[in-house]
Amino acid sequence: MTTDPWLQPPIAPGADRLFCFPFAGGNGTAFKTWRPALAPRTEVWAAMLPARGPRLAEPPTTSLADLVSHLTDSIAKLTDKPFAFFGHSLGSLVAFETARELRRRGLPLPEVLWASGAEGPGTRVVKRHLHGLPHDEFIEALREYNGTPSEVLEHREIMEMLYPALQADFGMAERYEYREEPPLDLPIHALYGDADPHVDYELLQGWGRETTRSFSVHGFDGDHFFLFPHEEAITALIAGRAR
């Protein structure tokens, strides 16, 4: 198995691979319970970004293009098996742009792109810019996403450690500029929470413009972080075991 710092490797070899791209401020631990859920067939590889987890001491990446380039370099070494991409929120954009970068380099594409908790790249609307807010206002705004426990948000020392990654990630998402390119030749499946105030259902449909293949939408009860309470259903969907 690779020791590449940009990817957290699976627990055991499998027949295919799922590369997971986390939400703003997240890291590979968000998908740690997916590994046994998708084993033994699928290897779960999770993107590991600077300024969090084992890379906490490193400065954050502030350029989405640079982030995509690094991740593409790493994934390019692992395209010897069939693979798919899963991204949540910011991770959906990263997954999408990484698939595009693989295509530019003439490398194999993922067999499927799972885009979760995000409007279409070309239809998305940034409703509020958070990354430029003063520190305390930024932390308070995070409460609206319901992805960080209140006790963590209120723990100043912990938030001081998490703040650089969060601010950098929100900056990348909010500064993202869509570029027109041909649709990808792979199926795209969009997932959303029916009570997510940050994702408009009509704008979510924009993912359908990015594929020449099939497109589907899957809704779940919950807010922006619906993927946690519905982990069993989502991993079953990815594995093709959903009923």
Q: Could you tell me if residue 1 is inside a domain?
A: no
Rg (CA), the chain: 17
* pLDDT > 80? residue 241: no
Instruction: Report the pLDDT averaged over residues 107-122.
Output: 98
Q: Which class for 138: exposed (0-12), middle (13-18), buried (19 or more C-beta within 10 A)? A: middle
Q: Could you tell me if residue 30 is inside a domain?
A: yes
Q: Could you tell me if residue 2 is inside a domain?
A: no
Q: Could you tell me if residue 135 is inside a domain?
A: yes
Per the structure, the complete domain to which residue 104 belongs is given by: 7-239
* pLDDT > 50? residue 135: yes
Rounded to two decimals, the pTM is 0.93
Q: How many whole angstroms separate alpha carbon 239 and alpha carbon 109?
A: 18
pLDDT given for residue 243 in this prediction? 44
Q: Could you tell me if residue 181 is inside a domain?
A: yes
**Alpha helix positions (H), the chain:** 34-38, 64-75, 90-104, 135-142, 150-153, 156-175, 201-204, 231-239
**Which pLDDT tens digit goes with each residue over 39-75?**
999 999 999 999 999 999 999 999 999 999 999 999 9
Instruction: Report the pLDDT averaged over residues 170-179.
Output: 96
Q: Could you tell me if residue 227 is inside a domain?
A: yes
Q: Catalytic amino acids?
A: 89
Q: Are 181 and 100 in contact (CB under 8 A)?
A: yes
pLDDT given for residue 147 in this prediction? 54
- Percent of the chain with pLDDT strictly greater than 70: 94
Q: Could you tell me if residue 175 is inside a domain?
A: yes
Asked whether the CA dihedral 240, 48, 194, 205 is positive or negative, the reply is: negative
Per the model's pLDDT, the better-predicted residue between 154 and 29 turns out to be 29
CATH number of the domain that residue 68 is part of: 3.40.50.1820
* pLDDT > 60? residue 1: no
How many domains does the chain contain in total? 1
